[in-house]
Amino acid sequence: MVQSFMDITPQLTNAKRYFPKTDIPPRPRIITEILQLLEQDSASFGKIACLVRSDPALAGSVLLIVNSAYFGLSQKVVTVAQAIGLLGVQNIKNLVMASAMRNAMTDSADPFLTEFWVTSSEIAHFAAFIAREHTTIPYEEAFTAALFHNAGLPLMHKRFARFEQKYVAGLKLTARSVVELEDVQFGTNHCEVGALLASKWQLPEQIRIAILCHHRVPHYLAHPHIDPDTKRLLSIIKLAEYLCYQFHPNFDYINLGEWSAISNLVLDQLSISTDMLRNITATLKQLRECNGAS
């Protein structure tokens, strides 16, 4: 993938003020260990598979993702080693990173976080499908970027009282973006905080940019220093987000303002016509049913 030449560091100043290092979950040790293995010339699939298997919950999560109908593999993957053989080490690293992030910020007793993970997981699977069927973006990368794109929300929810109510109110606005409202009310926004987390976890640059930019789409799709693949990745996330909320009537307010303003830009970026969008929606509806979604 072509590298972007956009330094996002200056844009994270406010997020760092409200979220010092101790308030951002550390990157799981297993990710560091995988990266260390990847730096070794003698690293083998077996060593990395053994490392992933050492965390049964993480290994199970990776296999569940890989076997999703959205990924469209021709055979069921039953072992971590088989998954690595099919997808490659770098792609498995992305999936492990995504699984670890979910495990690090899950609380079944919190309704906000429960809803957050339901929709985030679906958006990630939709993004993987769109990337696989309609772009040259690696679908594992699209999955990881989409799962992380709202990673700042759980942290904002934990840090600020009544964040959920104010966030929902911001999504219903049409005259300004939700991040503008968050900036005024909290001094930072969930895009900046999510990008800060992604930087701390050393996610690829294009994913960090997509996280930072996903509520300022018109500006960043026209940005001269963001490469085309990163713009397509951002567009995949926004289309997946839009499609996800079509299947969740209780969230129908989310796309009313934003999608109407960016839909043409996003679809043009992905070369997806209106007819193609209808077909994608119908296919995803079938895949949701295959995965047991209602």
Give the residue extent of every domain in the chain.
26-104, 106-290
Q: pTM for the complete prediction?
A: 0.85
pLDDT for 192 beyond 60? yes
Residues counted in the chain: 294
CATH class of 106-290: mainly alpha
Q: What is the 3-state secondary structure (H, E, C) of the chain?
A: CCCCCCCCHHHHHHHHHHCCHHHCCCCCHHHHHHHHHHCCCCCCHHHHHHHHHCCHHHHHHHHHHHCCCCCCCCCCCCCHHHHHHHHCHHHHHHHHHHHHHHHHCCCCCCHHHHHHHHHHHHHHHHHHHHHHHHCCCCHHHHHHHHHHCCCHHHHHHHHCCCHHHHHHHHHCCCCCCHHHHHHHHHCCCHHHHHHHHHHHCCCCHHHHHHHHHCCCHHHHHCCCCCCHHHHHHHHHHHHHHHHHHHCCHHHCCHHHHHHHHHHHHHHHHHCCCHHHHHHHHHHHHHHHHHCCCC
Q: What percent of the chain has pLDDT over 90?
A: 31
pLDDT for 135 beyond 90? yes
Least-confidence region, from 115-119, 142-146, 190-194: 115-119
pLDDT for 2 beyond 50? no
Q: Of the segments 92-96, 176-180, 211-215, 266-270, which one has the largest average pLDDT value?
A: 266-270
pLDDT tens for 77-132 read 888 888 877 777 777 777 777 777 777 666 667 888 888 888 888 999 999 999 99
pLDDT for 47 beyond 70? yes
pLDDT for 40 beyond 90? no
Would you state the pLDDT for residue 42?
63
pLDDT tens for 235-269 read 999 999 999 988 887 776 666 678 888 999 999 99
